[in-house]
């Protein structure tokens, strides 16, 4: 049974709670290469976290409590787990955050929590922390996690206090969600809050400046990549989400009967799957690809061998080669090996009257530019 351990002092609590916040990616944690997550030797992600006695990152990222009344089968903090539990009161957390902020060590706050009793009881503590900071004059960035099942009033209060809010969608649809939790209702506890936030923050509204993000736990349930992409596309189009994040399920953290634990995929394959979903997300958001252009295999999944843009290019030979001196931005972005920087470089050179005659005109041909040669022509 979970309990709150009152033995640790504030610094020790922050070390425990900051470490436990690593599983939530619904924010951009850093813009420095050194602080971005990377793979460990056993093919798991190592996440940047804010520890009270170590390195600087842009956001002070922590939980209010790792006590949790939920039964999410993929989560190492679920109620049945034997964990060292602790919590930090709002006043105490606001004080320690301001110490970091005033020292120039962080620029903002990302605050989440396990479920302390009920969703609204938890939201009361989260919102109270943000309210204290605002009343003390902090006007910087605050990202608040909305707890599934929270009341409309609690959600509205979060939106009024924050620069960004997020509810984890977790998986693509009720059927797959049933594999993850027996206590939460997918429509009522997750989809409804996302819809409410979308309405509160729509263009022209009082809180239009507030952004909304979410996160899929990829591979914890048995959804396909195609289903995840379909839901992501809907979130961007219908609810105007600012970002959708993907977190590969880490085998060994969940219950033995979880589909992710029973999957035949290796850790490396699960991480590659996450990477492919981010590539598709970029194709949709930045490269003007439509959902029906994303190349899935017969099982509804993305290739683990090649990136989705290259798979699309190989299946559409009629589109290539494109004339590098005439193609528009989005035609250039269809070329494997070309990204936003290369495409903008080409367009800028053409704007200045230059004619590109060879791949060397774009710089020293590396792996990506050499890949592009198959798909372009220069006259």
Q: Which phi and psi angles does 206 have, rounded to 5°? A: -60, -30
Number of H helices and number of E strands within the chain?
13, 10
Cα–Cα dist 162/317, whole Å? 48
pLDDT band at 42 (very low <50, low <70, confident <90, very high): low
Cα–Cα dist 70/6, whole Å? 21
Between residues 161 and 10, which one has the greater pLDDT?
161
Residues 172 and 257 placed together within one structural domain of the fold? yes
> Would 302 be classed as within a structural domain?
no
Last residue of a domain, one of 287, 303, 336: 287
Residues 266 and 191 placed together within one structural domain of the fold? yes
| Side-by-side strand order, sheet with 59-63 | 59-63, 108-112, 141-145, 164-166, 211-218, 243-248
Residues 283 and 327 placed together within one structural domain of the fold? no
Last residue of a domain, one of 269, 287, 305: 287
Between residues 4 and 378, which one has the greater pLDDT?
378
pLDDT, mean of residues 109-131: 95
Q: What pLDDT was estimated at residue 257? A: 93
Evaluate if residue 32 carries a pLDDT over 70: no
Residues 115 and 186 placed together within one structural domain of the fold? yes
> Would 299 be classed as within a structural domain?
no
The pTM (predicted TM-score) of the whole model is 0.87
Between residues 71 and 194, which one has the greater pLDDT?
194
Between residues 48 and 143, which one has the greater pLDDT?
143
Task: Provide the CATH number for the domain around residue 368.
Answer: 1.10.150
> Would 294 be classed as within a structural domain?
no
Burial of 364 (0-12, 13-18, 19+ CB in 10 A): exposed
Residues 336 and 222 placed together within one structural domain of the fold? no
Between residues 271 and 192, which one has the greater pLDDT?
192
Q: What pLDDT was estimated at residue 6? A: 52
> Would 4 be classed as within a structural domain?
no
pLDDT digits (tens, 9 = 90+) for 135-176: 999 999 999 999 999 999 999 999 999 999 999 999 999 999
Q: How many domains does the chain have?
A: 2
How remote is the C-alpha of 29 from its chain's centroid? Answer: 10
Torsion of CA 298, 302, 304, 305, to 10 degrees: 80
pLDDT band at 23 (very low <50, low <70, confident <90, very high): low
Between residues 62 and 311, which one has the greater pLDDT?
311
Task: Provide the CATH number for the domain around residue 208.
Answer: 3.20.20.70
pLDDT digits (tens, 9 = 90+) for 312-332: 999 999 999 999 999 999 999
Element (H, E) at 284: helix 267-285
Residues 41 and 84 placed together within one structural domain of the fold? yes
Element (H, E) at 246: strand 243-248
pLDDT, mean of residues 240-251: 91
> Would 160 be classed as within a structural domain?
yes
Cα–Cα dist 284/297, whole Å? 18
pLDDT digits (tens, 9 = 90+) for 77-113: 887 777 778 889 999 999 999 998 998 878 888 899 9
Residues 98 and 177 placed together within one structural domain of the fold? yes
Residues 280 and 324 placed together within one structural domain of the fold? no
Evaluate if residue 16 carries a pLDDT over 80: no
Domain hosting 219: range is 10-287
Mean pLDDT lowest among 21-35, 92-106, 344-358? 21-35
Percent of the chain with pLDDT over 70: 88
Q: What pLDDT was estimated at residue 359? A: 86
């Amino acid at each position: 049974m979970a309990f709150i351990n009152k033995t640790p002092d504030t610094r020790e609590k922050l070390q425990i709670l900051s470490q436990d916040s690593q599983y939530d990616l619904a924010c951009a944690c850093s813009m420095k290469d050194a602080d971005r997550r990377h793979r460990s030797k056993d093919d798991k992600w190592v996440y940047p976290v804010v520890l009270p006695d170590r390195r600087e990152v842009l956001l002070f990222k922590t939980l209010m409590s790792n006590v949790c009344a939920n039964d999410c089968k993929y989560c190492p903090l679920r109620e049945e787990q034997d964990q060292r539990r602790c919590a930090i009161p709002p006043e105490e957390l606001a004080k320690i955050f301001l110490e970091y902020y005033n020292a120039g060590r962080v620029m903002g706050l990302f605050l989440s929590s396990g479920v302390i009793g009920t969703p609204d009881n938890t939201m009361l503590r989260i919102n109270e922390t943000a309210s204290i900071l605002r009343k003390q004059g902090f006007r910087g960035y605050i990202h608040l996690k909305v707890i599934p099942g929270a009341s409309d009033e609690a959600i509205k209060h979060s939106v009024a206090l924050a620069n960004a809010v997020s509810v984890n969608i977790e998986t693509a649809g009720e059927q797959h969600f049933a594999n993850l939790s027996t206590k939460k209702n997918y429509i009522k506890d997750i989809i409804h809050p996302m819809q409410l936030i979308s309405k509160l923050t729509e263009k022209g509204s009082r809180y239009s400046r507030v952004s909304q993000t979410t996160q899929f736990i990829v591979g914890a349930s048995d959804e396909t990549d195609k289903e995840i992409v379909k839901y992501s596309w809907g979130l961007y189009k219908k609810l105007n989400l600012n970002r959708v994040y993907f977190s590969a399920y880490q085998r060994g953290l969940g219950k033995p009967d979880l589909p992710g634990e029973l999957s035949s995929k290796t850790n490396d394959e699960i991480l590659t799957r996450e990477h492919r979903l981010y590539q598709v997300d970029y194709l949709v958001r930045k490269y003007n690809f439509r959902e029906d252009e994303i190349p899935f295999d017969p099982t509804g999944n993305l290739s683990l061998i090649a990136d989705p843009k290259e798979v699309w290019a190989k299946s559409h030979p009629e589109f290539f080669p494109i004339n590098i001196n005439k193609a528009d931005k989005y035609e250039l972005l269809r070329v494997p090996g070309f990204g936003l920087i290369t495409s903008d470089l080409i367009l800028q050179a053409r704007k200045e009257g230059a004619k590109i005659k060879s791949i060397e005109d774009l710089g020293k041909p590396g792996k990506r530019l050499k890949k592009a040669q198959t798909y372009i022509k220069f006259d």
